[in-house]
Structures are given as C-alpha cells and as structure tokens.
Amino acid sequence: MTKFSANLGFLFTEHSLPDAIREAAKAGFDAVELHWPYATPADEVKAALVETGLPVLGLNTDRGDVVGGENGLSALPGREADARAAVDQAVDYAAEIEATNVHVMAGFASGQEAHATFVQNLRYACERAAPHDIGILIEPLNRYDAPDYFLSTVEQGQEVLADVGDERAKLMFDCYHMQLMGGDLTNRLRKLLPVIGHIQFASVPDRGTPDHGEVNYEHIFALLSDMGWEVPLGAEYKPTQPTAGTLHWMSALRD
C-alpha cells in the first residue's frame, strides 16, 4: 500500500505547525515534512509528533534574505559562513525532532564557482549530519517557478552528488518539477532510484491535487511500489481550499 507524507509547507497551513501535524494524522497521512519550522520551538513540534506517532521526513535550510530575493545560500560564493550557519540550524532542529533528512537549498547562482561552493557546503552538511544519522537532500527546481535557481535538472544534481562523494547526500525527486524539466518520469525514476532520497508529487502544470493533469500518478505510484520504494511519498501541492477538503485523491491512489 502506498504511503503518503503531508508537506506542511503547503498543506494544513491554516493551522499552527503543531496543530497541522495533528490534522495530518487525522487525515490519514503516514508522515509529515516541513519547510522552515524555525519560528516554532522544536519541543512543541516534537510533542505533536510524539502524540500522533508521525515521523518527519525532512525540513529545509533557511533561505536567507527572502525579502531581498534570496532562496537558499549554499551555492552562493562568498556566503559560506551564512550557508553553514543555516546548515547548523537545520541539522540541530532536525536532530531535536528526529527528522530523517535536511534539504540544503542552493539559491540563485550559476557557473563553476557556484558549483564548487555548493559541493563544499554539502560536504560540510554531510559531516554535520552524520552523527545524527540524518540524510542530506538536494532538489532541482523547475526554471518556470524558480528561474535562475542554481539546481534545475537531475543531471546537474547527479554531477553535484558525484563531486560531493558522500552517500549521505541524495536527490529529492519532485515529480512536479521533473515533469516540467523534461518529463520521462518512468525511465528517470528507474535510472535514478539508487540516488533518490525522497519523492514528492503534485499535478502538472497547476501544482494541484494529483488526480488530474499531465502525470498519471496511479502509474507512477504503482511503478515505485514495484521497484520496492517504501518511504511515504510527499504531497506538496497547492490546495484551493482548506486542506481537509482536498484529500479526495488519497483513497484512490493509496492502493
């Protein structure tokens, strides 16, 4: 049976973070994942997790100066100290709530210097995460929603991971982003499965519930099941109403 994780950066945002965890459990999700939980004390999040029994599959490093247009720090030459402080914050928070992964956000950059900076910061992240048995994720973002983001294709992600040289670092494969950046999800999932650490989904192109649009998720989820994928799949879509009213897809796609 396919398992699902609620990405609380998109779902149940009408609630406080601890209450969003409780709502995800009530709705039948098997796990949760977070974006930037840092405004909520970790002990409050941990209490809700213990109460519900839900695991946390991941959280993101801080984006930096969002008002100033930043969306991650780790590929920005000259910002190494800020990037590593964001990694420290994320790993410490993840350890306290027993999260499985930290997604290290690259930011807006390009070129070989940015690549080298990202690789070095990811090596640092792997070192920081290792004592806590936390995985490190990188995520390609599509060029329509995140133009100029450093990491936009899985092929580029593979190059980064090869240069990092640490099995702790893996790809976050978001089917929504990957469909917009070349499609061919079936073959790419088969090929990349050994280096994928987490999988997310939403409809394409509107990033809504996964029961319409270009991608046949019934096929994708059956494929993943056949390949032995057992980690809950991350629902990261934009609800058009309070989340509880958008979950009609879950029962149809769970089997």
In this predicted structure, what is the pLDDT of residue 213?
96
> Would you call 139 a catalytic residue per the annotation?
yes
Cα 125 to Cα 34, 172, 185, 229: the distances in Å are 18, 16, 29, 25
**pLDDT tens-place string over residues 157-166:** 999 999 999 9
> Would you call 236 a catalytic residue per the annotation?
yes
Choosing from 139, 155, 167, 218, which is the catalytic residue? Answer: 139
CA distance 209 to 84: 35
Domains recognised in the chain with CATH numbers: 4-254 (3.20.20.150)
- Give the pLDDT band of residue 32 (cuts 50, 70, 90): very high
Q: Can the peptide bond before residue 37 be classed as cis, meaning omega within 30 degrees of 0? A: no
- Residue 245: Cβ-neighbour burial (10 angstroms; 0-12, 13-18, 19+): exposed
pLDDT > 70: what percent of the chain?
100
Question: N- to C-terminal Cα distance for the chain?
Answer: 5
For the residues 172-198, what does the mean pLDDT come to?
Answer: 95
In the numeric block, which tokens belong to residue 28? 């039948």
CA distance 189 to 21: 29
Q: Is the pLDDT of residue 177 over 80?
A: yes
**pLDDT tens-place string over residues 191-231:** 999 999 999 999 999 999 999 999 999 999 999 999 999 99
**pLDDT tens-place string over residues 223-254:** 999 999 999 999 999 999 999 999 999 988 98
Q: Is the pLDDT of residue 255 over 90?
A: no
Question: What's the mean per-residue pLDDT of the chain?
Answer: 96
Choosing from 23, 51, 159, 236, which is the catalytic residue? Answer: 236
CA distance 74 to 114: 9
In this predicted structure, what is the pLDDT of residue 1?
83
